[in-house]
Chains A and B, each alone.
Chain A
Amino acid sequence: MKPASIVYLVTRIHGLRTHLVQQHDMQILTKARSMKEIGDNLIKTEYGTEISKLPAKEVDAVALEQIFLKTLVDRFLFVTREAQGKMQDLLNRYCERFDVENIKRVIRAKHSGEILEEPSLIPIPREHTLVNFPALLNSKDVEEVVSLLRETPYRPLAQKLETYKQATVTIVLEAALDDIYFSRVWELAGKVSDAEAVKELIGEEIDLRNLLIGLSMKIRDLSPNLIEETFTSSHHRIPRGRLQSLAQARLEDAPSLLATQPYSKLASEAVKISRGGSQMALEVPFLRQMYDDASKALRIHSFDAGYIIAYLMLCECEARNLVTITTGKQLGLSEDEISQATLGIQSKA
């Protein structure tokens, strides 16, 4: 018997899912002739309220991206508020991905001594974050950023500070942040009702993240030690040992090393992209895989907690697709080019 709170939340999300922008509407957006037309088409969606506040002249890809990200955060936080018990704890931790992305942005800017302002961050309401971002933005260097995070869940970052100073690459700290984030989410994923379905989705994200980072660093010919440093301690289907072998092996050997699908296919895709056989961004096939599986999960796990995580993943997918469309339009990309860059769009219920 499922807890009533989960049944309630899943039912709410069945309703919320109908608010997602449908594939047909996405295709209409890719055909839009101007940014204003995109704005007009989105008026009836959940983005409408924010878009209508924008003066017509200020409707551009940058302003729209801020709206898409704000709406994404609002959607995540709404679902979190509606949840109860362990599910709420898990979703609270799941939402920390925005904190992590913002901390990474601050670290990158402080690393090169650039001034970063609040509009460059994902807008997270102050009451929903444990991180004091205004203080981080005012900090003088990466060391101060890490010390300001001492009272937050990101305290273990301090252990990587020495490695960062020696290697002077932010990858070390960014990987540590991912590790903290996924460890915290993974820890609770196994404790909620329908843990298997939840772990399947979150686990795949972890695997794909590790694989993407590992392969992209192999393409860059970085040292195996540094590559190993970037893998998360939590893993799902790709065990730690396999990832370590991947770090040591040649890029060409990656597909055979990752014998299981879809990882082997993705590795082959990465090899093809690295040889210039495809103009596609390396992230695209990995994200496509993740969101396609989330889309499938919506059908398979219609009545369990997996549905909640799948919905959140598709919200993220929608935001990414909208960013791709508006940015592509602003850069003058053709309809076909934009369609190729978009990720798997959710299928109809």
Chain B
Amino acid sequence: MKRDNLAAETNRLLAKVGKRREFDKRLMAAYEVMKSAYTTLGYSRIQSEASAVGVLETKVRARSVMGVIVPEIVPGKIPPIISVTSASAYAAADRLKTLMPELLEIAEAEAKIESIAQELMMTNRKVNALERVLIPELMEQIRYIEGRLEEETLEEFFRAKRVKAVIRGKK
């Protein structure tokens, strides 16, 4: 039951992570613009242009999926980049800004998959241990106990029969 639910959740998240390849291409294109800005302005100017933009505050909450603790990212408001004056720094900031929500979404999905996969692995091990070791051992014990009980019942039957014969002989 738990394993099935976790597998279903993983499948749902995999659809999100599946966009990663296409997203990576867009991210690389944004990095190219960023590189161009860096080479045009240099590190110190880019650092300064970036300092005009506030911090993107995000909250990471813990959520439980079938008892598995997974992270949930709650993105805050993306800070405005209007104060970036340089054209090339703005072009880079604009590209990265549009990618940020998707980046967080994919990061969250990947982190969730990691936690769920860990739990699935544990659950699989438990299921395997139950199916291959514990259950066969218990079945063997049940068979042994049943055999013993059968033997004991037979013994008891013969014992009773014998006692009966002895009592009849004495009479």
Say yes or no: is B82 at the interface (Cβ < 8 Å to chain A).
yes
Given A104-B48, A111-B52, A114-B51: A170 and B87 interface contact (C-beta under 8 Å):
no
Given A282-B91, A327-B42: A108 and B48 interface contact (C-beta under 8 Å):
yes
Residue picked from B39, B44, B48, B91, most chain A C-beta under 10 Å: B39
Contact A174 B85 (CB under 8 A): yes
Contact B53 A112 (CB under 8 A): yes
Contact A219 B87 (CB under 8 A): yes
Neighbouring B residues of A104 by C-beta, 8 Å:
48, 85
Neighbouring A residues of B52 by C-beta, 8 Å:
108-109, 111-112, 170
Say yes or no: is A249 at the interface (Cβ < 8 Å to chain B).
no
Contact A65 B51 (CB under 8 A): no
Neighbouring A residues of B37 by C-beta, 8 Å:
281
Given A279-B32, A281-B88: A341 and B39 interface contact (C-beta under 8 Å):
yes
Say yes or no: is B35 at the interface (Cβ < 8 Å to chain A).
yes
Say yes or no: is A10 at the interface (Cβ < 8 Å to chain B).
no
A331 to B38, CA, bound (A): 9
Neighbouring B residues of A161 by C-beta, 8 Å:
none
Contact A170 B42 (CB under 8 A): no
Given A283-B88, A331-B38: A61 and B43 interface contact (C-beta under 8 Å):
yes
Say yes or no: is A54 at the interface (Cβ < 8 Å to chain B).
no
Given A216-B90, A282-B87, A283-B87: A65 and B42 interface contact (C-beta under 8 Å):
yes
What 1/0 mask marks residues of chain B from 34 to 72 whose CB sits below 8 Å from any chain A CB? 011111111110011101111100000000000000000
Contact A171 B51 (CB under 8 A): no
Given A281-B91, A283-B86: A327 and B51 interface contact (C-beta under 8 Å):
no
Neighbouring B residues of A113 by C-beta, 8 Å:
54
Neighbouring B residues of A65 by C-beta, 8 Å:
42-44
Say yes or no: is B153 at the interface (Cβ < 8 Å to chain A).
no
Nearest Cβ on chain B to A99's Cβ, whole angstroms: 14
Given A171-B85, A220-B90, A282-B91: A327 and B48 interface contact (C-beta under 8 Å):
no
Given A281-B88, A282-B88: A324 and B39 interface contact (C-beta under 8 Å):
yes
Give the secondary structure class of B's interface.
helix
Nearest Cβ on chain B to A70's Cβ, whole angstroms: 12
Q: Kindly count the residue-residue contacts between A and B in the assembled complex, taking CB atoms under 8 Å apart.
A: 98
Contact A328 B39 (CB under 8 A): yes
Nearest Cβ on chain A to B79's Cβ, whole angstroms: 8
Across the two chains, which residue of chain B brings its CB closest to A286? B87
Across the two chains, which residue of chain A brings its CB closest to B31? A331
Given A171-B82, A220-B90, A282-B88: A120 and B48 interface contact (C-beta under 8 Å):
yes
Given A170-B83, A281-B36: A327 and B90 interface contact (C-beta under 8 Å):
no
Contacting residues of chain A (186-213) with chain B, CB-CB under 8 angstroms: 212-213
User: Which residue from A111, A280, A327 sits with its C-beta under 8 Å from B38?
Assistant: A327
Neighbouring B residues of A283 by C-beta, 8 Å:
40-41, 86-88
Say yes or no: is A135 at the interface (Cβ < 8 Å to chain B).
no
Contact B48 A212 (CB under 8 A): no
Contact A331 B35 (CB under 8 A): yes
Nearest Cβ on chain A to B99's Cβ, whole angstroms: 16
25 A–B pairs (Cβ distance < 8 Å), ordered by A: A62-B43, A65-B44, A108-B48, A108-B49, A108-B52, A112-B53, A170-B83, A170-B85, A171-B83, A171-B85, A174-B85, A216-B86, A216-B87, A219-B87, A279-B32, A281-B36, A281-B39, A281-B40, A281-B87, A283-B88, A324-B40, A327-B39, A327-B43, A333-B35, A341-B39
7 residue pairs, one from A and one from B, having the closest CB atoms: A281-B88, A216-B87, A282-B87, A108-B52, A323-B42, A281-B40, A105-B48
Q: Which residues of A contact B (CB under 8 A)?
A: 61-62, 65-66, 69, 104-105, 108-109, 111-114, 116, 120, 122, 169-171, 174, 212-213, 215-216, 219-220, 222, 279-284, 320, 323-324, 327-328, 331, 333, 338, 341
Q: Which residues of B contact A (CB under 8 A)?
A: 32-33, 35-44, 47-49, 51-55, 79, 82-83, 85-88, 90-91
